[in-house]
Amino acid sequence: MIDILEKAAVQNGLVTAFAVVGLVILLSGQISRRLTFGRVHGSAIAIVIGLALAYWGGTQTGGHKGLADMTLFGGIGLMGGAMLRDFAIVATAFEVQATEARKAGLIGVVSLLLGTVLPFVVGAGIAWSFGYSDAVSMTTIGAGAVTYIVGPVTGAAIGASPDVMALSIATGLVKAILVMVGTPIAARFLGLKTPRSAMVFGGLAGTVSGVSAGLAATDRKLVPYGALVATFHTGLGCLLGPSLLFFATKALVG
């Protein structure tokens, strides 16, 4: 019996994922209402449960894709993978008011640039203070503080060692998780209320996954505005990381 049930779930991976995620969201809605009296957004709790499940999956399988590495939950990998994630993000653009987006065009670009340079400087500085004082390592770890894709792309381009690459990816992952969990908590401090503020947030906070999850857990209506800017983040970082930022670092530390 159990075998047949398991076989059905494994063979219909994506369908299983819909059921599992639906259950998680149902559960987090209940937790939000009953335990926090609506103070913590249900989506925020769902994302934290997702991350906890990812940790559990990672320790169970030793893989790198969290829960999706377990055969039973392989469909989670498809459902939350880049393809469907981007498809759903693009779909949210349907709700964008073009006038609102245009109003914040320039400030969006400015925050995008700041969002690339500032984390890089901070990350490279901390790498330096921990003894990673060569330009290649500093650049790679700094780029990891931009996003966890910019880190390895930059590292590969300038020839960083594997352990520095791993460190760089870890930095980006921690950042993404911090943004996911921290945004709803800090929403008031960040002034996240209007489409413009969401675009500033999208540019500065970087990482599509962090921004999209953080905004989803704060105010679903703001998602498309933040995501619209954030999707340029990785591209800009991959552009500046191995070039301008690397040369600047090299000029500074020799």
Partner 1 sequence: MIIFGTALLAVCHLLGIFLGDLLGQALGVKTNVGGVGIAMLLLIFARIYMQRHSMLPKLTELGVEYWGALYIPVVVAMAAQQDMVSALRGGPVALLSAIAAVAVCACVIAVINRTERPQAQTDGAPTLHDNPLLADAE
Sole binder of partner 1 in the list 55, 71, 72, 113 (CB under 8 A): 55
Q: Residues 192 to 251: which contact partner 1 by CB under 8 A?
A: 192-197, 200-201, 204-206, 208-209, 212-213, 216, 220-221, 223-224, 227-229, 231-232, 234-236, 238-239, 242
Sole binder of partner 1 in the list 31, 173, 248, 250 (CB under 8 A): 173
Instruction: Please work out the total of residues on this chain that contact partner 1, with binding judged by CB under 8 A.
Output: 117
How many CB atoms sit inside 10 A of residue 207's CB? 29
Burial class (CB in 10 A: 0-12, 13-18, 19+), 129: exposed
Task: Work out whether 105 is an interface residue with partner 1 (CB under 8 A).
Answer: no
Q: How many helices (H) and strands (E) does the chain have?
A: 14, 0
- For residue 139, the number of C-alpha atoms closer than 13 Å in the C-beta half-sphere is 29
Task: Work out whether 155 is an interface residue with partner 1 (CB under 8 A).
Answer: no
Amino acid identity for residue 247 in this structure: F
CB of 224 to partner 1, least distance (A): 7
Sole binder of partner 1 in the list 9, 40, 136, 149 (CB under 8 A): 149
Sole binder of partner 1 in the list 9, 67, 136, 160 (CB under 8 A): 67
DSSP string, 136-183: HHHHHHHHHTT-TTHHHHHHHHHT--HHHHHHHHHHHHHHHHHHHHHH
Residue with tokens 């399988």: 61
Stretch that binds partner 1, among 4-12, 30-38, 75-83, 244-252 (CB under 8 A): 75-83
Task: Work out whether 50 is an interface residue with partner 1 (CB under 8 A).
Answer: yes
CB of 52 to partner 1, least distance (A): 8
Q: What is the largest CA-CA distance in the chain?
A: 67
